[in-house]
Structure 1
Amino acid sequence: MTPANDRWAAAMFGLDAAGIVAAQKGWRELNLAIAGEGPAPIVGVDGRIVSHTDQMAYPPEILSRDYDSGDHIHPTNFGRRVNAYSWRRQLVDDGLLA
């Protein structure tokens, strides 16, 4: 998942400060689980591709302006390329793509 931003949560759901903190906590826990970490990791998967998350974040958990399409959650075309290159690199490394 791409880095999230609390302003997006506030704008989309009208959350107050406590709601934003809870939304960020849920987002963080879900991303940790997807990455195979945290208190409830998702297990039994063939692989994980998470390198794009750190690359697109500044500071952590906020989508960098360089990749932000304007809504603070969806990446620009450049950000989508970062995602695609991360996936392609891993598929090549795994021998699934030439």
Structure 2
Amino acid sequence: MAGRRPKPTHLKVVTGNPGKRKLNDKEPSPAREIPSPPEHLTDWGKVAWGKLTVLLDGMGILTIADTLALERLCDIYADILQLRLTIADEGRNLHRADRGRVFD
């Protein structure tokens, strides 16, 4: 067994460093900034990007290291919105020429 995971430095500072061990002065801390949305995002993805970046930055938790995860989240969210519109227009049933009507 590897033991417990080390507690992040900022949590040790907040709790008063109860173990009185030396604090890690080399802990990585990515820069806080609001990145621009990637070019490939759809319009809906860019709207989601704008809303989420403002929300996360306001909470003080958005860093440059979050860019890839945020990009994927906005991309998937845009796909979900598009699929909801498609279902609303075409219904939940699939029509195939070789099998006729296929129910969900």
Query: Quick check: TM above 0.5?
Result: no
TM-score, length-scaled by structure 2: 0.28
Higher strand proportion? 2
Higher RCO, 1 or 2 (CA under 8 Å, sep at least 6)? 1
